[in-house]
Chains A and B, each alone.
Chain A
Amino acid sequence: MIEANRQGDVWVVAEQNDGELEDVGLELLSKGRELAERLGVRLTAVVLGAGEAGHAERLIHHGADRVLVAEHPLLAHYQSNSYAKVLCRLIEEHKPQIVIYGATPLGRDLAPRVASAIRAGLTADCTDLDIGDHVEPTTRQKYDRLLYQVRPAFGGNIIATIVNPERWPQMATVREGVMRMPDADPARRGEVVRFTPDLAPEDLPLEILEHKRAERKVNLKAARIIVAGGAGVGSKENFRLIWDLANALGAAAGASRAAVDSGWIDKDHQVGQTGTTVRPALYIAIGISGAVQHRAGMSEAQKIVAINADPNAPIFQVAHYGIVGDLNRAVPMMIDAIKRRV
């Protein structure tokens, strides 16, 4: 167990896959920067790998004060045991007060393994982090400046704030796409600490026989405009309307879980709690009733247009413009209006 260290840094574990840094690590640096400044401590990024040039500089340009780079040929490919071993040692040595990970498949495999080994608390899939005080109701003990870990639970129907008063570091995984990607500042300078951790072949029990990276067919996170269809679209043929409007706008096509489950569009297009979280400039929701699971993935869009036949559909609660009516009439009208302007 690691004792509380009030002077400890804020850490972001930056994930790399096949030598490429994942966006979520950079996104976490914006929130990490904010937390570190509130606490008056450094923001440290930690990256594990076989030794890729350029990652440390990029992490500094995006807000890290210091980067710990663990380099070892045995870290070239992720394994739970080897990565957890290196991270546990680092945490024991440096005693950070906060460690945040991306809630990616890798982060969700790694973070619990680390938490269990050092017997620290861990909150999964946070959508926000903050610093605040806490009084433990059972002991009346007061804790200053803890990490508030905010996450949806119960299928998105409740929002829970979790704290971790005693057993540090305070650790959380954070959903991809919910934190703003910071702007890179090439003038930023920071400290880079490179080292070779102790690893032996027995730290890698798995044999990776085959490893294929799936090419995402659509990058919803990067789309400025998303046109999304749901159950109300009615059929795969009718989903053509969604594509037509998306094409007219130069937008990406999105979908609710219902549309994906019906086989009208590939799962890569799914927006929502089990799909992708997006924050585009414009989100057009067509025939989507707006269950909490879906709204959790899109309510941060700057402008939302909802088209639905049901005036009581919850999607209208988050919409800026609402068209109550037949989408088969309204969508062609929109396409028409956009084309006439061009």
Chain B
Amino acid sequence: MAYNIVVLVKQVPDTKRLTADAMRDDGTVNRTALPAIFNPEDLYALETALRIRERYGGRVTVVTMGPPQACEILRESLERGADDVALITDRRAAASDTLATSYILSCAVRKLGAGRAVDLVICGRQAIDGDTAQVPPQTAEKLGWPQVTYVETVEEIGDGRVLARRNTGRGTERVSCPLPCLLTVTDGGPQPRPPSARRIMAVKKARSRAELERDARDDAEVLARAESLRKRGLLITQWDLDDIEADLAWCGRDGSPTKVKRIQSVVLTGSGFKKVEPAEEAVAAMVHELIEDHTIG
């Protein structure tokens, strides 16, 4: 039994690589100074999908929503072994909150399932820029599918059910869930494989139309390059909201119930602390103060 698997991924700024270079003089973060990366837990989602395909057969399609630049992680998905990729890019999708995003992604999954039904959607548990973990359960609800979150490993699939081990940090569960369903995976499972050198060479030139439009001089060049890529199987599938038959009322700003009222950068303020010399007397005096004010004891 082969399985048709869709992996939903996101390109994110590398918030963990926050060095002094990414800080402005006023103590706030310069986001553009951070490199854009494959959301770490999404790599585990891809690895989980590839292992299922290797064991049971099937097809792994990786989908992302974002600007043309997000094709970088689609090429990386191909390098790591995905069969196919698709980019959803549309200005009308800008300012989508988690609810609107999940609606758009569910439309894409439906489109992918129009030919052959999708059996599994696999996502990373959460993205490191927003840390909300909301999009996957909302996508599952939009599809009307059950969900299993915090999956560490998929143990087996058979008889129309997936058997997975989940670890929430508070405990572990082994659950059996009927297909089709959506899984979110943590970084507790098998390590993502590196891109293969052969595949890197093979997909190096893959581009989406949006990237061609960004880089080409004129429309004629876009057409010519797109046609040439298509013939070699290197034109990355690109959809706008019309292609996936999304109702615009549920997308972008209009489709988003939550609005950002205010953003404050966390600024390091020097409120001043009592400097204690690293000497016995000074340290003992500090301990004495902490005992006196009943902090210790």
Contact = CB atoms under 8 A, between A and B. Distances in A.
Given A206-B176, A321-B286, A162 B128 contact: no
A105 B172 CA distance: 12
B32 interface: no
Contact of A112 (B31, B98, B274, B283): B98
A109 B268 contact: no
A303 B99 contact: no
B208 interface: no
Contact of B134 (A115, A153, A249, A320): A115
A306 B273 CA distance: 10
Contacts of A323: 275-278, 283, 286
A164 B97 CA distance: 11
B31 A214 contact: no
A95 B172 CA distance: 35
A213 B260 contact: no
A116 B173 contact: no
A113 B137 contact: yes
Given A214-B170, A324-B278, A329-B278, A113 B287 contact: no
Contacts of A322: 273-276
Interface string A311-325: 000101111111111
Q: Which range contains the number of A residues in contact with the other chain?
A: 35 or more
Interface in B74-89: none
B37 to A, nearest CB: 12
Interface in B245-272: 253, 256-266, 268-271
Contacts of A273: 131
Nearest to A153: B130
Contacts of A160: 260, 262-264
A309 to B, nearest CB: 10
A167 interface: yes
B175 A208 contact: yes
A241 to B, nearest CB: 14
A154 B31 contact: yes
Nearest to A215: B171
Interface stretch (B2-10, B12-20, B193-201, B235-243): B12-20
Interface string B110-153: 00000000000000000011111111111011100011111000
Contacts of A121: 97, 99, 256-258
B296 A225 contact: yes
B94 interface: no
B177 interface: yes
Contacts of B129: 153-155
Given A154-B31, A165-B259, A333 B275 contact: no
Contact of B146 (A136, A206, A306, A334): A206
Contacts of A105: 149-150, 168-170
For B131, B138, B169, B280, the residue with the greatest tally of chain A CB atoms inside 10 Å of its CB is B131
A193 interface: no
B275 A124 contact: no
Contacts of B276: 321-323
Interface string A287-310: 000011000000000110110000
A256 interface: no
Interface residues of B, number: 77
A134 B98 CA distance: 21
Contacts of B163: 209
A122 B170 CA distance: 23
A330 B31 CA distance: 37
B214 interface: no
B174 interface: yes
A24 to B, nearest CB: 12
A237 interface: no
B171 A213 contact: yes
Interface string A195-234: 0000000000111111111100000000001000000000
Nearest to B262: A161
B178 A205 contact: yes
B191 interface: no
A154 B177 CA distance: 33
B147 A109 contact: yes
A157 B176 CA distance: 39
B261 A122 contact: no
Given A80-B146, A155-B18, A306-B273, 20 more contacts: A80-B140, A81-B146, A112-B102, A112-B136, A113-B137, A113-B140, A116-B142, A123-B258, A148-B261, A155-B128, A155-B131, A157-B28, A157-B29, A159-B264, A160-B264, A162-B261, A165-B259, A210-B172, A225-B295, A323-B283
21 contacts: A80-B146, A109-B149, A112-B137, A115-B138, A124-B131, A124-B132, A136-B259, A154-B129, A154-B130, A156-B266, A158-B29, A160-B263, A167-B257, A205-B177, A205-B178, A206-B148, A305-B286, A305-B290, A317-B270, A334-B287, A337-B280
Interface of B: 13, 15-16, 18, 28-29, 31, 97-99, 102, 128-138, 140-142, 146-150, 161, 163, 168-178, 181, 253, 256-266, 268-271, 273-280, 283-284, 286-288, 290-291, 295-296
Interface of A: 17, 80-81, 84, 104-106, 108-109, 111-113, 115-117, 119-125, 134, 136, 138, 148-149, 152-167, 205-214, 225, 249, 273, 281-282, 291-292, 302-303, 305-306, 314, 316-326, 329-330, 333-334, 336-338, 340-341
